[in-house]
Structure 1
Amino acid sequence: MNPSEILQRANFSMTFGIIVAIFGIVLKQFIKRPDYSSLKGKSHSHILKTGAKLLFYNLVQGFLFLGISLVLFATVFYICYLLA
């Protein structure tokens, strides 16, 4: 892999990681973790709605994790570029 290819991959990974992380942060401001501690005796539809909210909350957490991982991955590429 030549240095320009390393730099190109690092730039793409950093840009995409920042965009995904910002998207996750914005979504996290609007999505609150649902309270599933008092589901005993509730209807099935209420339990399903709470489960769907929890799934969406975990998806937002995944966006944040993916964005941070891509930024760290790009940092490794930048270090490889500096060493090449």
Structure 2
Amino acid sequence: LKRALESTAWDGEWYRRGSFDDGTPLGSRTSQECKIDSIAQSWSVLSGEGDPARSTTAMQQATKLLVDDHLKIVKLFTPPFSKTDKDPGYIKS
């Protein structure tokens, strides 16, 4: 399972959240909405199963892209779902 996750879920700078039913990545740098998701990055560290170097990179990117110092918030993902016809479930606004 770990090998499969590392070979398919790693997106170059962070872990993808998952995939839509048609196989389109969710939480990918190629995504127009939800490019990065905090859950996948956090669990790569919390589980202790993520590749250490990748987990470090993923958390650096999560901090860079999800922490808004001006608004004093940490986003769950960014950018929000607002236009997609695909249904990511409860996380769509």
Q: If the length of structure 1 is used for normalisation, what is the TM-score?
A: 0.23
**Which structure carries more strand by proportion?**
2
Q: If the length of structure 2 is used for normalisation, what is the TM-score?
A: 0.22
